[in-house]
């Protein structure tokens, strides 16, 4: 007697099929636009709000302090870590210098032959943290930093050759800021007229 052995044809075996997904099909990632600005500033809230209004009228996004805090690990981050996070998150940094402090050179150190006469008397200057953070930002990415003065602010002697935007609110100074922002690599939108009037600034220095 011959016994027949049944064989299984694996090619006929049922195949597992993944159930259809209800998730939408993946789409190519949208490139991040370069519209994010971190503002280094002192205590002049009015000047900051005016600058913020001008920046947002150009369709730029301001990286706030809380945005920067979220970019740092730990429940109690150091202030310098927060500032560094803000600089890193942003595509450019705008340093807003306002005359929040008063400073002058002591008489025994003042050189009357070569120093500016204003150095010998109290004169408005940016706060020390603003000066420090401006230098830090420039060390990290000089081409992405725009220096802006609002009000009568003492120049920084070590960087006196740098060209500031003296923002007075007139169309010429606003256009200068727009050009500097664009040169820093930001993708702004000045096709509307909002930036011409957004924010209120001193009319002169």
pLDDT band at 18 (very low <50, low <70, confident <90, very high): very low
Does some domain include residue 150? yes
Q: In whole angstroms, what is the distance from residue 179 CA to residue 192 CA?
A: 15
Note the residue count of the chain.
205
The CA dihedral of 196, 198, 203, 205, to the nearest 10 degrees, is -100
In a domain, 50, yes or no: yes
Pairing of strands 145-149, 92-97: parallel
**Cβ atoms of 154 and 205 closer than 8 Å:** no
The CATH code of the domain that includes 138 is 3.40.50.10140
Give me the mean pLDDT over the 83-105 stretch: 91
**What confidence tens digit (pLDDT) does each residue in 29-39 have?**
545 789 999 99
How high is the pLDDT of residue 129? 92
Rounded mean pLDDT of 115-125?
A: 82
pLDDT at 49 over 90: yes
Kindly state whether residue 91 falls inside one of the protein's structural domains: yes
| Strand bridging mode 101-103 / 123-125 | antiparallel
Q: What is the pLDDT of residues 153-171, one digit of tens each?
A: 887 665 556 778 999 988 9
Q: Which of 146, 141, 140, 134 is nearest to 178 (CA)?
A: 146
In-domain check, residue 14: no
Residue 162 lies in a domain: yes
pTM of the shown model: 0.77
pLDDT greater than 90 at residue 3: no
- Averaged over 86-102, what is the pLDDT? 93
Q: For residue 93, what are the domain limits?
A: 33-196
Measure the CA–CA gap between 44 and 47, rounded to whole angstroms.
6
Say how many CA atoms lie within 13 Å of 15 toward its Cβ. 5
The count of structural domains within the chain is 1
Of 176 and 23, the structure prediction assigns the larger pLDDT to: 176
Neighbours of 85 (CB within 10 A): 21
* Residue 161 pLDDT: 60
pLDDT band at 13 (very low <50, low <70, confident <90, very high): low
pLDDT of 75 > 80? The answer is: yes
Q: Does any domain span residue 166?
A: yes
Task: Give a yes or no: residue 12 inside a domain.
Answer: no
- Position 205 in a domain: no
Rounded-to-integer distance, Cα 96 and Cα 9, Å: 78
């Amino acid at each position: 007697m011959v016994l027949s052995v049944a064989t299984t044809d694996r090619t006929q075996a049922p195949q597992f099929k993944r159930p259809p997904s209800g998730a939408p099909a993946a789409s190519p990632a949208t490139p991040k636009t370069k519209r994010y600005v971190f503002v280094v500033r002192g205590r002049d809230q009015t000047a900051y709000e005016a600058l913020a209004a001008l920046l947002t009228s150009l369709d730029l996004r301001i990286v706030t302090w809380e945005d920067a805090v979220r970019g740092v690990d730990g429940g109690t981050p150091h202030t310098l870590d927060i500032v560094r996070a803000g600089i890193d998150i942003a595509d450019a940094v705008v340093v807003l210098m306002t005359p929040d402090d008063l400073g002058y050179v002591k008489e025994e150190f003042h050189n009357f032959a070569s120093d500016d006469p204003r150095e010998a008397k109290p004169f408005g200057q940016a706060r020390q943290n603003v000066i420090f953070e401006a230098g830090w930002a420039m060390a990290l990415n000089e081409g992405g930093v725009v220096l802006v003065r609002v009000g009568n602010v003492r120049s920084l002697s070590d960087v006196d050759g740098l060209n500031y935007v003296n923002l007075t609110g007139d169309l010429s100074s606003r256009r200068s800021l727009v050009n500097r922002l664009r040169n820093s690599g930001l993708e702004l939108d000045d096709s509307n007229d909002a930036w011409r009037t957004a924010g209120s600034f001193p009319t002169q220095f």
